[in-house]
C-alpha cells in the first residue's frame, strides 16, 4: 500500500505514515535477512522493496523529523 493517510494534525499525519512504512520496511528486511544474497542482490532489495515505500511519502509530505530519517538510514 503506497497511499498516504490523512489527519487534521500535520505532525500526527507524518507520524502515522512514516511509522507504518518503517515497520513494514523492517518486516521486509527481516524476511530477506534469512536468505543468502549477494551485495548486488541486497541493493536490488533495497531499491525495489524499501525505497519504493518511502518515495511517495517524500514527495507528498513535508520533510520528516530527523529521528525518522535516521531510522530509515539505519535500516538501509
* Tens-level pLDDT at each residue, the chain (76 residues): 557 888 888 888 888 889 989 999 999 999 998 898 899 999 999 999 999 888 888 888 888 889 999 999 998 8
Given a contact cutoff of 8 angstroms between Cβ atoms, the answer to whether 13 and 5 are in contact is yes
The rounded distance, in Å, linking the Cα atoms of 13 and 49 is 23
Cell numbers representing residue 21 in the block: 512504512
The rounded distance, in Å, linking the Cα atoms of 20 and 27 is 11
Given a contact cutoff of 8 angstroms between Cβ atoms, the answer to whether 39 and 51 are in contact is no
Tell me the pTM. 0.81
Amino acid at each position: 500500500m503506497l497511499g498516504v493517510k490523512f489527519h487534521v494534525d500535520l505532525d500526527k499525519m507524518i507520524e502515522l505514515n512514516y511509522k507504518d512504512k518503517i515497520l513494514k520496511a523492517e518486516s521486509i528486511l527481516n524476511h530477506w535477512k534469512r536468505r543468502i544474497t549477494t551485495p548486488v542482490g541486497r541493493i536490488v532489495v533495497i531499491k525495489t522493496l524499501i525505497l519504493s515505500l518511502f518515495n511517495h511519502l517524500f514527495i507528498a509530505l513535508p520533510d520528516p523529523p530527523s529521528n525518522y530519517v535516521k531510522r530509515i538510514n539505519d535500516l538501509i
